[in-house]
Structure 1
Amino acid sequence: MPLPNWDAAPVKPVDEQPVNIKADWWRDEIRARGLPGTPPAGNRLTRADVWAPADDVFTLLWRTLAWGSGPRNRLNRSRLAAIAADVPRCEDLLTKAADLSRRDPAAAFALFRPGDTNEIRYLGPSFFTKFLYFAGGGAPGHPCLILDRRVATALRDRYGWTSLHRRGPWPAETYERYCDLLARWAREAGCAADQIELWLFNNFSANRN
């Protein structure tokens, strides 16, 4: 697939992309279940806030989920309940996935979805790829990127990846191809791969079939 002819405003750094969240909800729900990690503070998160160093994988996950959900918390109670049901197993999975995210997108993805089901219930690709992305801490060249239905829709409907399902779930091999594609486009465009991901996210709706 060739690099798109950018027909929108030039891509910008993604660090300060803001999302409004319900911090009190996250604090209360996490504490009520006795879950580890620090809930997000403040009712606004940027990508830079999520990237900020965390002492444990659960703090990173709570920030990721809050940023990805925004003011809507659909399914988050179910996600938290699934994690609370087996905290040690989830901690091991998150730790291994965060480590793999720095060098092997397909293997990291496959930890969360090794077959036809998610390893953590209600935590599907649109959310766990956010975790894989943020596990990089904003490092340039981090190979894992966010893949969700808006990005997939833009790639399919606007830029010709006709075999890419709009809503997923996607196999690990497809995720690896996606990360490789955006990395190549970024090199050709002279920008960061997550800038292209955000550009696709913001331009998913035009010219839809």
Structure 2
Amino acid sequence: MTELSELSPPEWAVPSLPRRTAVEEHRIAVPWQWWREAITRRALPGTPPSTPSLTRADVWAPAEDVFTLLWRTLAWGSGYSLRLNHKRLDSVAADVASAEALLTEAAAESRRDPERAYALFRPDGRTRIRDLGPSFFTKFLYFAGGGAPGHPCLILDRVVATALREHCNWESLHRKGYWPPETYQRYCDLLARWAEEHGCAADELERTLFAGEPKASS
């Protein structure tokens, strides 16, 4: 297991843009009509996305229920790649009450205990909501923080994990997941430490790691 206390971010991953520009305004185009039709047809609770794009700030804006937050999160995280969303929606529709209880508890835990919040979605190595793996449920845990710069849960996906392996020397981190809950906690703690050292929010570092090393101009 890699000793994370010795790791530091590469120079290009240290945020240089204002958080508002780099994080809050991070915008993704979404097929909102598809989401409206798919959610309405299944008679699922919550409000579907209703605009052709969503920023991170749009996703974490206060929602009247956890399902509205989930639909925004899935739409933003998927963009126009809808491959598994039918199965995700079907899984929620099969037991709405259980999904609501899980999402509500996970959202509350996300504000204080990343490891436990993560484990709620994947206890004993199985995914509670079909095809909602870490790359997506860590997005939900992140957005449940309402955009607070100190929110302890962060997005972890294949792109970020690969950047941490290849550019930050976290050699024991699997590129794809499924990562165990303790690995997610270690990840959140690592970026929180880096954020404190560099005077920024942890999600700014997640954003720069996701964007990757800028290509040299010719």
For normalisation by structure 1, the TM-score amounts to 0.95
Identical aligned residues as a percent: 64
Relative distance call for 1:205 and 1:162 in structure 2 (3 A) is farther
Matched with 2:73 is: 64
Q: Within 1, Cα distance between the matches of 2:213 and 2:175?
A: 10
The SS at the match of 1:158 is helix
Q: Within 1, Cα distance between the matches of 2:80 and 2:118?
A: 26
Moved over 4 A (4+): none
Q: Select the structure with the greater relative contact order (CA < 8 A; seq sep ≥ 6).
A: 2
Does 1:84 find its partner at 2:84? no
Relative distance call for 1:159 and 1:74 in structure 2 (3 A) is same
From 170, 182, 203, the counterpart of 1:194: 203
Mark the runs of 5 or more structure 1 residues left unpaired by the alignment: none
From 115, 133, 138, the counterpart of 1:124: 133
The root-mean-square deviation of aligned C-alpha atoms, in Å, is: 1.4
Per-residue CA deviations over 1:58-110 (Å, capped at 9, x if unaligned) read: 00000000000011111000100011000000000000000000000000000
Q: Quick one: which amino acid aligns to residue 111 of structure 1? A: L
Q: Within 1, Cα distance between the matches of 2:164 and 2:213?
A: 8
Per-residue CA deviations over 1:103-145 (Å, capped at 9, x if unaligned) read: 0000000000112210111000000000000000001210000
Matched with 2:3 is: none
Does 1:160 find its partner at 2:160? no
Does 1:4 find its partner at 2:9? yes
Q: Within 1, Cα distance between the matches of 2:175 and 2:65?
A: 33
Aligned length: 206
The SS at the match of 2:28 is strand
User: Is residue 11–residue 199 contact of structure 1 (8 Å, CA) maintained in 2?
Assistant: no
Q: Within 2, Cα distance between the matches of 1:66 and 1:165?
A: 26
Relative distance call for 1:77 and 1:28 in structure 2 (3 A) is same
Q: Quick one: which amino acid aligns to residue 55 of structure 1? A: E
The SS at the match of 1:19 is strand
Q: Within 2, Cα distance between the matches of 1:74 and 1:104?
A: 31
From 93, 98, 103, the counterpart of 2:112: 103
User: Is residue 192–residue 202 contact of structure 2 (8 Å, CA) maintained in 1?
Assistant: yes
From 19, 24, 37, the counterpart of 1:28: 37
Q: Quick one: which amino acid aligns to residue 9 of structure 2? A: P
Per-residue CA deviations over 1:17-53 (Å, capped at 9, x if unaligned) read: 0000000000000000000000011110000000111
Does 1:43 find its partner at 2:52? yes
The SS at the match of 2:146 is coil
User: Is residue 149–residue 203 contact of structure 2 (8 Å, CA) maintained in 1?
Assistant: no
Shift of 1:11: 4.3
The SS at the match of 2:126 is coil
User: Is residue 150–residue 204 contact of structure 1 (8 Å, CA) maintained in 2?
Assistant: no
The SS at the match of 1:115 is helix
Q: Quick one: which amino acid aligns to residue 109 of structure 2? A: L
The SS at the match of 1:45 is strand
Q: Quick one: which amino acid aligns to residue 127 of structure 1? A: F
